[in-house]
Amino acid sequence: MKKYRYILITTLAALFLSACSEGGDASFKDGITNISLASYPCQTPVDLSSYAALQSGDTVVKEDANAEVIIYHDVNNTKKICLVNGSAHIIRGN
């Protein structure tokens, strides 16, 4: 009986602690924002309104060797990015 109680308490503690973590698509820590590009897949036909906007100073980071992104520039020099395959994220300093 003590073994089952120990397993139950340990499982509940693990669930509680994991709910307090900083995961997710965007996290804010020390003035840095990480934006996952998984939420911004490339579409056909191209719909720039659904892509992530790049700002001055942003860094695009490939999370795996197969990651591929496309960056679009419009006439106003606005840059939009979408994810073709793999995984990548944007690091934005605030």
Q: Is residue 36 part of a domain?
A: yes
Q: Is residue 37 part of a domain?
A: yes
Q: Is residue 14 part of a domain?
A: no
Q: Is residue 70 part of a domain?
A: yes
Burial class (CB in 10 A: 0-12, 13-18, 19+), 17: exposed
Give residue 73's domain range: 25-93
Tell me how many domains the chain contains: 1
Structure confidence at residue 89 (pLDDT): 95
Q: Is residue 15 part of a domain?
A: no
Q: Is residue 19 part of a domain?
A: no
Contact 89, 63 (CB under 8 A): yes
Residues 6 or more apart in contact with residue 74 via CB below 8 angstroms: 48, 80
Q: Mean pLDDT of residues grouped by 10 in the chain (94 residues)?
A: 63 53 51 91 90 93 94 90 95 84
Q: What angle do CA 57, 86, 58 make, to 5 degrees?
A: 5
Structure confidence at residue 22 (pLDDT): 45
